[in-house]
């Protein structure tokens, strides 16, 4: 069905962009997803490791805000990562109700394996595409991810 406010040409162009986004995302998540599956984990585990690694000492509530997810979405995989020694959860020194999160050495190693490969993929693609293309891509991603 064609969007009546857009020409068929524009709809086709937007569909091509959506397909490129889909296949690009699939390409950058394929290997990490395989590694995660072997551990019995999913992509959300990687996201948690990534954001805790970038925000050491964040609270669970801060992590929820950073990831823009619900407590229910985060609870089980975060608990698994803590129980299996990838993330350390310590009470805040000033507020005992707050838990502060950090990657353990084991968690840092796993996060580096998962994300390191993705960084290498992006570095190669950016090198091949050039700085202008990279800047354009970053702007598009920034606008897509902007809070409403």
Range of the domain at 33: 8-145
Give 8-66 pLDDT, tens digit per residue: 999 999 999 999 999 999 999 999 999 999 999 999 999 999 999 999 999 999 999 99
Half-sphere exposure of 81 (CA within 13 A, CB side): 32
Q: What local confidence, expressed as pLDDT, does residue 147 receive? A: 59
Query: What CA–CA distance (Å, rounded) separates 101 from 49?
Result: 10
User: Does residue 28 belong to any structural domain of this protein?
Assistant: yes
User: Does residue 30 belong to any structural domain of this protein?
Assistant: yes
Grade residue 96 by pLDDT with cuts at 50, 70 and 90.
confident
User: Does residue 3 belong to any structural domain of this protein?
Assistant: no
User: Does residue 87 belong to any structural domain of this protein?
Assistant: yes
Quote the mean pLDDT of the chain: 94
User: Does residue 37 belong to any structural domain of this protein?
Assistant: yes
Query: What CA–CA distance (Å, rounded) separates 109 from 103?
Result: 9
pTM (2 d.p.) = 0.88
User: Does residue 107 belong to any structural domain of this protein?
Assistant: yes
101 forms beta bridges with 58, 89
Averaged pLDDT for residues 105-123: 97
- The three-class DSSP label of residue 88 is strand
User: How many domains is the chain partitioned into structurally?
Assistant: 1
User: Does residue 2 belong to any structural domain of this protein?
Assistant: no
Query: What CA–CA distance (Å, rounded) separates 4 from 59?
Result: 46
Least reliable range by pLDDT among 31-40, 42-51, 88-97, 125-134: 88-97
User: Does residue 24 belong to any structural domain of this protein?
Assistant: yes
Grade residue 6 by pLDDT with cuts at 50, 70 and 90.
confident
CATH (domain of 49): 1.10.10.10
Alpha-carbon Rg of the chain, whole angstroms? 19
Averaged pLDDT for residues 87-102: 93
Q: What local confidence, expressed as pLDDT, does residue 148 receive? A: 56
90 forms beta bridges with 100
Query: Cβ-count burial of 96 within 10 angstroms (0-12 exposed, 13-18 middle, 19+ buried)?
Result: exposed
CB atoms within 10 A of CB 60: 16
Query: What CA–CA distance (Å, rounded) separates 84 from 121?
Result: 28
CB 111 within 8 A of CB 102: no
Q: What local confidence, expressed as pLDDT, does residue 31 receive? A: 95
């Amino acid at each position: 069905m064609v969007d009546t406010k857009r020409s068929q040409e524009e709809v086709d162009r937007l569909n091509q962009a959506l397909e490129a986004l889909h296949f690009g995302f699939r390409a950058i998540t394929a290997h990490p997803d395989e590694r995660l599956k072997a551990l019995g984990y999913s992509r959300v585990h990687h996201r948690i490791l990534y954001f805790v690694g970038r925000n050491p000492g964040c609270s669970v509530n801060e992590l929820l805000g950073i990831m823009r997810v619900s407590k229910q979405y985060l609870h089980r995989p975060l608990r698994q990562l803590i129980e299996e020694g990838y993330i350390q959860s310590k009470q805040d020194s000033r507020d005992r109700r707050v838990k502060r999160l950090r990657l353990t050495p084991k968690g840092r190693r796993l996060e580096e394996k998962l994300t390191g490969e993705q960084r290498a993929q992006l570095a190669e693609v950016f090198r091949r595409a050039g700085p202008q293309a990279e800047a354009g891509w970053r702007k598009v991603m920034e606008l897509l991810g902007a809070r409403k």
